[in-house]
A and B are shown apart, each in its own frame.
Chain A
Amino acid sequence: MKNNLKVYRAMRDLTQEELAKELDVTRQTIIAIEKEKYDPSIILAFKIARFFKVQIEDIFIYPED
């Protein structure tokens, strides 16, 4: 799923490791999400959105058919 996680992370000047620690996930998961190879669970998606103080739709872009 397309996402703007890298952009938001850059806006906050965070490394992948720092973000992973904040979200209680591994660094590889952050990498995988940014590479659009892994879609997080709804709980993790909410956690990410809450962390950046935005809506889920601002970070994750639902593919339109």
Chain B
Amino acid sequence: MKGDFMKNYKILRIIVTIFVAIVVGLSVTFGTVLPAILAIVIGAMVSYIYKKSTDEILEDERIARVSEKASRIAIVVFSISIALIGMFLIILRSEYSDYTQAGFTLAYSSVVLLALYYIFYGYYNKKYGS
């Protein structure tokens, strides 16, 4: 039954999330990277395999459209926030010298976001007939 599969999939996602969070938290605490990376990869693979193990439709065009509209708003707010915060942290580095690295990290992240966005924009623009 579709309802059972969806329910089981949600339970699985929660279990995987908890497992990954615990392993990542522990590995960061003990200063080891490998368990964290492995946990994330294994968690993603388990979710993917379970999703593919059925013919049921889990995502349709409506869900895809909702996701795309959500991404559009999120990216605008996100990019502006990190760009502005990064810019202020850099400009006010004499007062907040401890956060200069954070400011540069945010500034570079916003540039990477913009570059990545427009690369994908160019790709889809070409795909949909520019």
Chains A and B touch each other in the complex, with CB atoms below 8 Å apart = yes
Please tell me if B128 contacts chain A, counting CB pairs below 8 Å.
yes
CB distance from A48 to the nearest CB of B (A): 16
Whole-angstrom CA separation of A45 from B49 in the bound complex = 38
Q: Is B53 an interface residue (CB 8 A)?
A: no
Main secondary structure of the interface of A (DSSP, over half): helix
Q: Give the tally of cross-chain contacts (CB within 8 A).
A: 13
B130 at the interface (CB under 8 A from A): yes
Report, as a range, how many residues of chain B touch the other chain: under 10
Residues of B within 8 A of A31 (CB): 129
B127 proximal to A (CB < 8 A): yes
Query: What's the nearest-Cβ distance from chain A to residue B124, in Å?
Result: 10
A contact residues around B128 at 8 Å (CB): 32, 37-38
The CB with the most chain A CB atoms within 10 A, among B127, B128, B129, is that of: B129
Contact with B along A29-64 (1 / 0, CB 8 A): 001110101100000000000000000000000000
A interface with B by C-beta (< 8 Å): 28, 31-33, 35, 37-38
Q: Which 6 A-B pairs have the closest CB atoms?
A: A32-B129, A37-B129, A38-B128, A35-B129, A38-B129, A32-B128
A-B contact pairs, 8 of them (CB 8 A): A28-B130, A31-B129, A32-B128, A32-B129, A32-B130, A35-B129, A37-B129, A38-B128
